[in-house]
Structure 1
Amino acid sequence: MSFRFTLPDAPIAAASADIGHVGVDLALTLNGQVQVTSPSMAEAHPVLDRISEGVFVSGLGTEVPSVTSTAKHKFTQDGTKFLGPSTMVFTGGSVIDFSEDGISVSGEVSYQLAVTVAPHNREPVAHPDAAAWFSRNGGTLASIGAIVLIGRSVSVG
């Protein structure tokens, strides 16, 4: 049986890091549908949840962070969007194509990686634009090196 599965309109993986003077929150959202080949939807659920497992983000101090996953999704960034006062959203496309236990999942979806940098015990610093955000936060984010996001179920509403 083959069916289309719509990914949830919410982050599928997230992480927080406390690096002394600031906290950094990351959230990855995938938007779109994947094609699933499985004997039943119930059998597909555990495999669908692998979409959000093992998401690894590196290069946070750059304008093009690298996003990878254990399921080998291919992420290609095509833009950034600054959301004041303290969030940068990296956007692009992702190709999902993997199989497990005779169940296959494939499709091309869009992604958004939101990165929020907020100081402890005070309001976030307002940045007028993306350049100011990178100037203020690039070095701090580079000190993280890389981070694994914690996956959430995509198959349960």
Structure 2
Amino acid sequence: MPDRPRDPAGRPLNARPRDELGRPLPLGSVGVPRIDESVVLAPGDALEQAQRLLDSGRPFHAHEVLEGAWKQAPDAERELWQGLAQLAVGLTHLLRGNTSGARTVLVRGRDHVQRHAADPPHGIDADGLVRWADEVLAGRHTHPPRLR
């Protein structure tokens, strides 16, 4: 079996194509464009790219962008970025039909974001995201959230 492609730190990369909701496709299939995991975006750029992906029905890919920002965030912001990534994953699970998994991750993400609602950085609409998560958890909608 050939060695998997790896990033500069030696971590294996998942080169398998994926659909709009991040589900793996058979090797050789044409999937949607992947997020370059090696590119580190400034917070504002990460939020803009994630919002575009959410608006275009690609919450899994938005999660990848937000996860990259989470891993690079200063300690004081890490939990908030983790919560944003979890909200995107929760929406992914919901759109895939996994309501139980969606609920678990949405609650966790909402709680992380809520703890930063008093003074969220980068124009993040923490209060709006908490309301969005509550609405989704109540089964009232599945439209994408507004990050700012």
TM-score normalised to structure 2 length: 0.24
Higher relative contact order (CA 8 A, sep 6+): 1
Higher strand share: 1
The structure with the largest helix share of the pair is 2
The TM-score, its normalising length taken from structure 1, stands at 0.23
Structure 1 or 2, whichever has the larger Rg, is 1
